[in-house]
Amino acid sequence: VGGFQAVLDKYPQAIPSIRVPNTTCGIPREDAFHIFRHPVTSDLPWPGVILGMSIPSMWYWCSDQ
C-alpha cells in the first residue's frame, strides 16, 4: 500500500482517463495538501478557512452545548 508517502507521491498522477472539455477539471492541484492556500486565486483561500469556517463552527459548538 505504501502509507501516507505513497498518497503524496501518487495523488498528483491521479488524472481521469475520460475528461470533460474543461481541461482543468479533474486534475489535482499543486497545492492540494496545503491548508493555507493562496488568498485570492485558490478555491479555498486561507482567509475563508480562518474567518468563514472557524468562527461559525465555534458559534455552533458553543450554542449546541
Q: Give 59 or 65, the one with higher predicted confidence.
A: 59
CA-derived radius of gyration, the chain: 17
Question: What is the predicted pLDDT for the residue at 63?
Answer: 92
Question: Each residue of 6-51: pLDDT tens digit?
Answer: 998 998 888 888 777 877 777 888 888 887 888 888 887 888 878 8
pLDDT at residue 34, rounded to an integer: 83
Question: Per-domain residue ranges for the chain?
Answer: 3-63
The helix/strand/coil state of 53 is helix
Kindly tell me if the per-residue pLDDT of 3 is higher than 90.
yes
**Predicted pLDDT at 5:** 92
